Structure formats: structure tokens, C-alpha cells
Structure 1
């Protein structure tokens, strides 16, 4: 692999992401570009190698230190083209962690793509072509949500539909502070915050406990 490509992943060095992982990332990237000619995995204007690395792969990979390695599964809500679910599954494979990635994606075409990537890269995944809002009493370790639904919707979903989980990871964009502050009006959250590696206006939330606030009449 060209040194220029290796260097493009240098922001992940602090997370101990291996060269083998970068190779898998590049295979995944090429599959996104190819499939994007048929269906919209990502927007057409962003379907360039350097943009995919920066905005999608590195952005997704940076949550690896929030993943609970002591659980058997981790879950990606509304996985779309596999960011962050496939990206994290690639890292887990190369870390030799025996954790199954559950990917929920109701689109038939995107689900097929996720299965194709998983087969090619030999990832430990299970793809559910279902609407996760219809499912109840779900159990998992880490839950992740990136560009799926607004934060209040996801908090309700996790609170109502998951009977057990360890933590919940949110990717918060430039309006994230305001969204988060509004969410705190309705929820008691035990959380830690981390600045994004890819955008100075963005941040990550790692939420351990979710409790609804009692509203006074």
C-alpha cells in the first residue's frame, strides 16, 4: 500500500489501528465507490477516495476506544453503507476480538451490500434487514448511532426497545451542542464527551446510563 494512503490514516495511530486494518479499509472503500455507481451508499459528491477516508472511515473508526470489549455483541442502528458498523467490525477482526457486530438496515439493497462486504472481508457480523423500531427486548453491549435519526428519537428507541446494553455512542455534528442541551431537559444521562478527530465543530458522546426525567404537572 502506498505510503501516502498509510499517512492519510495517521490520526488513528493513537488508537493502535494496524496496517492490516488500513488494507481492509481500502478494500471497503473501493467497494463503496463501485456500489455507489448502482445505488446511493453515500452522496455522489462525496464518493471520492480521500473524502470517504476522512468523512466516513476515520470518523467512524475513532469510536473504537468506546466499544465494550467484554460483551459478545455490539449494535449499529440504521447502518446504511456500514459506517460505523463495518468500520468497527474491521478493527475488531484485526484486534482479534470475538465480538459480533449486529447491523440493522431496513433497505434491501444496502443490506445486500453489507453482506457482500462482510463476506469479502470475513467479518463477524449479522445483518438484520428490519426496522429496528419494530423490535423489542433487544440485548447487546455497545450501541452506536451515526447519521441515523435525531438524538431524542434514538434515546427513546434505546430506552423503550433495549432491555440490556452497556453504552450508547453518538456522533454529534456542528449543531450537536444545542441538540444535546435540549435532550438534557428530558433525560438524565451519565456520559463522557470526546472531541472529534475529523471536524473541530463535532464531538462524540459515550452515554452509560439513560433515565427519563419526571415531568412536573
Structure 2
């Protein structure tokens, strides 16, 4: 059941090995969460849907993009670790970089990379202090409002790159506010796991310097 559900979420037919890696990651989150609060306690009982499946659905919006994927504010590994695990099956050469400023969470992420054997590295620093990564794809989940988030994304996304950004019910207000300082094309997709959620697929991101 889990394998079928996650296959539907991600858009790829998952192997038993991939699902086993995601189960190992789930177990790691449950083990570490009491110590460093990776996700809210209220969501632990529904970890598969609230966090793993919710992250897995992002894969379908850039499933064929190779190169480097950067996940900003990776925290408990959502969506970064989940996406990296999916890639070990479908795109084993794809490289992930997780950026997390909290030292304890960075340690957790390195352990998650080891346990799941995904192709990823962890950068423990503030996003705005990390050298530009020129990533082909940038993801960020529950990190900041879109007007603030796009500045962080733009720093690390190549000019022709793609950003995949989950947002909540107020996404329209965030889009309108962000357009005051940023030019971009955005496709909006309804979340499969959250009736109030939406996924923004952002391309052509450019700061509106001419208006300043």
C-alpha cells in the first residue's frame, strides 16, 4: 500500500529498495525527533502523508531535470532527503545539496544521507552566506514567505533553473506581494496531500532592479 501510494505521489514506480530506504529514514526521524524537534509531535502519527508523501509529490514537477538540486532550510529532511532517495532509483547521478544552519539538524541530515545512501552533501551555514550553488532545481518547504524566499532562491538558482516551492492557502497573496520585487513565471499545482496546499513551479526568476 505504501509503495503504491508513494509511486502515485512521485510519478515514478518505486522499487522495494527505495521504499525500504524511505522506511529507514522514517525510523530515523522518529528516533531523533524527541531530541531536536525535526517535525511537530502532532504530525508524527501521520508522518507518511504529512511529510514523506507531501515531499515525494514534488518530484513529479522536475523528474527529468538532472544536474544539481539544492534544498534550502532542509531541517528534518523534508523534502530534500525524500527527493534524494527517490533519485537514487530514477536518476542515480543527480547530486543534492542540503543547506541547514542548525548544527544539530545538520548532523541529523548527514546521518540520514548515510542511512539512506543517497547522493547528497550537507552545508551547515546560513543560506545567504553559502556561495551561490548555481543549482538546476531549488526546493524549500515551510521556510519563509514567498517575497523573502525568492531572494534566497535566486542566490542559488541558475538563470534557467526551476524552483519548486510548496505553499499554503495564502499563496495568491504571497505571489502578488512577491511580484513587487521579482519577475517570474509561476505554474500553480494543487497539493495532492493537503487540500489547502499548493505547489509553485517558478521559472525565469529575475529581480526587478529597473523599478528601484
Matches within 5 A, 1:148-159: 148-159=143-154
Give the aligned partner of residue 45 of structure 1.
42
- 1:25 correspondence with 2:22: yes
- Unmatched tracts of structure 1, length 5 or more: none
Secondary structure of the residue aligned to 1:63 is: helix
Give the aligned partner of residue 104 of structure 1.
99
Distance of aligned partners of 1:117 and 1:208 in 2 relative to their CA distance in 1, 3 Å threshold: same
TM-score relative to the length of structure 1: 0.87
Q: CA deviation at 1:194?
A: 1.3
Greater C-alpha radius of gyration: 1
Q: CA deviation at 1:88?
A: 0.2
Give the aligned partner of residue 35 of structure 1.
32
Structure 1 contact 69–97 (Cα < 8 Å) conserved: no
Give the aligned partner of residue 60 of structure 2.
65
Give the aligned partner of residue 185 of structure 2.
190
Q: CA deviation at 1:158?
A: 2.8
Give the aligned partner of residue 215 of structure 1.
211
- 1:162 correspondence with 2:156: yes
Distance of aligned partners of 1:76 and 1:163 in 2 relative to their CA distance in 1, 3 Å threshold: closer
Distance of aligned partners of 1:11 and 1:98 in 2 relative to their CA distance in 1, 3 Å threshold: same
- 1:92 correspondence with 2:87: yes
- Unmatched tracts of structure 2, length 5 or more: none
Secondary structure of the residue aligned to 1:138 is: coil
Give the aligned partner of residue 143 of structure 1.
138
Structure 2 contact 134–157 (Cα < 8 Å) conserved: yes
Mapped to 2, the partners of 1:192 and 1:16 lie a distance apart of: 25
CA RMSD of aligned residues (A): 2.1
Decide which structure has greater helix share. 2
Q: CA deviation at 1:8?
A: 5.1
Mapped to 2, the partners of 1:10 and 1:121 lie a distance apart of: 18
